[in-house]
C-alpha cells in the first residue's frame, strides 16, 4: 500500500537532505509493505490490540504508523542489524522496519522489550 505522498514519509525530516532519505535515527526511506513471512503470525497475535478485522487493515495501520512524520511524539532507534524500532511512548505502539522498508512487526510493546544498539549494548525501549 502506498502512502498519500512523499510528505508522509518518515525520512523527510530534519537531518535528511531530501524527501524519503533515511536519517541516523531511522534506517529506511519509507515503509512499503509488511514482511510476508511474518504477516500471518503477527496478524493472528496482534490484530486484536489494534481492533483490526482483516490483514489489509492491520497492514494499513502499520504502514501509516511507520510512515508518519512526528519527531515530537515518536522515538526511533536503529539496532545492530540495521532494523529501525519506531515507537510512541504515549500509546506504546511499536513498529520494526528493515532498512529495505519492510515491516517486521507492529504491536504494543511491554516494559521488557529491548534491542541491541549499534555499539552492541542492550537498550530498553521506554
**Tens digit of pLDDT for each residue in 105-117?**
999 998 889 999 8
The answer to whether 4 and 60 are in contact (CB under 8 A) is no
**Tens digit of pLDDT for each residue in 32-61?**
888 888 898 888 998 888 988 999 999 999
The DSSP element (H or E) to which 122 belongs, if any, is: strand 122-124
pTM of the model: 0.78
- CA–CA distance, 105 with 113 (Å, rounded to integer): 13
- CA–CA distance, 81 with 115 (Å, rounded to integer): 10
Which domains, ranges and CATH numbers included, belong to the chain? 6-124 (3.10.450)
**% of the chain with per-residue pLDDT over 70:** 83
- CA–CA distance, 57 with 15 (Å, rounded to integer): 32
Amino acid at each position: 500500500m502506498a502512502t498519500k505522498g512523499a510528505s508522509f514519509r518518515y525520512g523527510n525530516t530534519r537531518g535528511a537532505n531530501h524527501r524519503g532519505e533515511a536519517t541516523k535515527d531511522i534506517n529506511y526511506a519509507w515503509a512499503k509493505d509488511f514482511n510476508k513471512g511474518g504477516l500471518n503470525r503477527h496478524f493472528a497475535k496482534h490484530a486484536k490490540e489494534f481492533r483490526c478485522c482483516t490483514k489489509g487493515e492491520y497492514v494499513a495501520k502499520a504502514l501509516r504508523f511507520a510512515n508518519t512524520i512526528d519527531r515530537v511524539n515518536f522515538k526511533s532507534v536503529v539496532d545492530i542489524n540495521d532494523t529501525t524500532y519506531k515507537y510512541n511512548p504515549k500509546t506504546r505502539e511499536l513498529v520494526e522496519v528493515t532498512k529495505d522498508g519492510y515491516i517486521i512487526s507492529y504491536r504494543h510493546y511491554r516494559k521488557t522489550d529491548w534491542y541491541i544498539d549499534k555499539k552492541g549494548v542492550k537498550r530498553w525501549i521506554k
